[in-house]
Amino acid sequence: MSEATRELFLGAVRTLRRSTLWWSVALSGYVVLNLAFWPSFENSDMLKSFDDMGAIMEAFGAKDLASPAGYLDGQVFALMLPILMSAMMIAATTAITSGDEDAGRLELLHALPVSRSALWLTRFAGALVMLAVTTAMTLLMLVISIRVFSLDGVGVVDVAGPLLGSAALAMFHGAVGFAAGAAGLARPRSITTAVAVLVAGYLVALVLPIAKTFESARNWSPWHWALGQAPAVDGVSLVGIGGLVAAATAIVWVGSLAIEHRDIRTA
């Protein structure tokens, strides 16, 4: 890595430092708040009643809510945490790529003796640092919370796997936003593209399979690769997560090629 590239990377990290702090607080607070309610629900029939709703609960990734692992899936891993982490990555990635291009903040940087692709890749790498830090902080809060709030039978691996899958899913959607911006879309359209992929993946993984005819459709969804059907209960597939990371890497690579073959927008 050249000195110029290193400085560009560090600049991207510095740009996102406040967002990293606040997203770390928000995600950590979300998991602690949800796990704090477990002792109140543990011996209640309320959660058991949800199991009778069958297919409706499957659409929200909920399975065996009355168990500690099932509660984790229903409240944290199956829907909300992956959405929040993907939203974070989409927002961060598009902010420092297409967003900065829209505002004219990349014009001077493009004049540096560094290729366009290298510049944009350092921005994506900065967003990955943000993802890594927030994931680590969330994992720490999860590990502490499962002990403090007595989620018996749930170990570190049971929360680390789904969290890793959520991070991989966030990386994938951030890559889509990156590639959309690199292809020339302004930030609002880049966000729309990434969010559309996010929603479509959720529908294919969790809603469409409610109809048994389309049950196999989930195999085509990034959500399924990252989290399966009940990540805390059944575990996650490292092969699926690895495939998702590989797909995200390929999308970023395509985006880095696209940025070299178009005109740069000026403010």
User: pLDDT digits over 79-99, tens only?
Assistant: 999 999 999 999 999 999 999
| Average pLDDT of the residues in 126-130 | 98
With CA atoms as reference, report the closest residue to 50 among 78, 85, 83, 82. 78
Six-digit token string for 184: 């020339």
Q: pLDDT-derived band of residue 16, with 50, 70 and 90 as boundaries?
A: very high
Six-digit token string for 246: 């590989």
User: pLDDT digits over 42-56, tens only?
Assistant: 666 655 555 555 555
Six-digit token string for 26: 């928000």
Amino acid 44: pLDDT: 64
- Distance, CA of 171 to CA of 219 (rounded, Å): 19
Amino acid 153: pLDDT: 86
Six-digit token string for 23: 């997203």
Amino acid 249: pLDDT: 98
User: pLDDT digits over 209-261, tens only?
Assistant: 777 787 788 889 999 999 988 899 889 999 999 999 999 999 999 999 999 98
Amino acid 4: pLDDT: 81
- The span from the first CA to the last CA of the chain, in angstroms, equals 30
Amino acid 105: pLDDT: 86
Query: Is pLDDT above 80 for 1?
Result: no
Angle between helices 187-202 and 156-182 (to 10 degrees): 140
Q: Rounded to two decimals, what is the model's pTM? A: 0.92
Query: Is pLDDT above 90 for 131?
Result: yes
Share of the chain above pLDDT 70, in %: 91
With CA atoms as reference, report the closest residue to 180 among 96, 265, 98. 98
| Average pLDDT of the residues in 113-124 | 93
Query: pLDDT: is 216 or 134 the higher one?
Result: 134
CB atoms within 10 A of CB 122: 23
Amino acid 262: pLDDT: 85
Q: pLDDT-derived band of residue 176, with 50, 70 and 90 as boundaries?
A: very high
Could you give the C-alpha distances from 151 to 4, 37, 262, in angstroms and in order? 48, 11, 53
Share of the chain above pLDDT 90, in %: 65
Cβ burial 148-164 (10 Å sphere, 16+ → b, else e): ebebeebeeebbebbbb
Amino acid 88: pLDDT: 98
Amino acid 63: pLDDT: 65
Q: pLDDT-derived band of residue 173, with 50, 70 and 90 as boundaries?
A: very high
Six-digit token string for 164: 């890793």
Of 10-19, 66-75, 209-218, 222-231, least confident by mean pLDDT is 209-218
Query: Is pLDDT above 80 for 61?
Result: no
The CB-side HSE value for 91 (13 A sphere, CA atoms) comes to: 12
Amino acid 55: pLDDT: 53
- Mean of pLDDT over the chain: 89
Domain ranges of the chain: 3-261
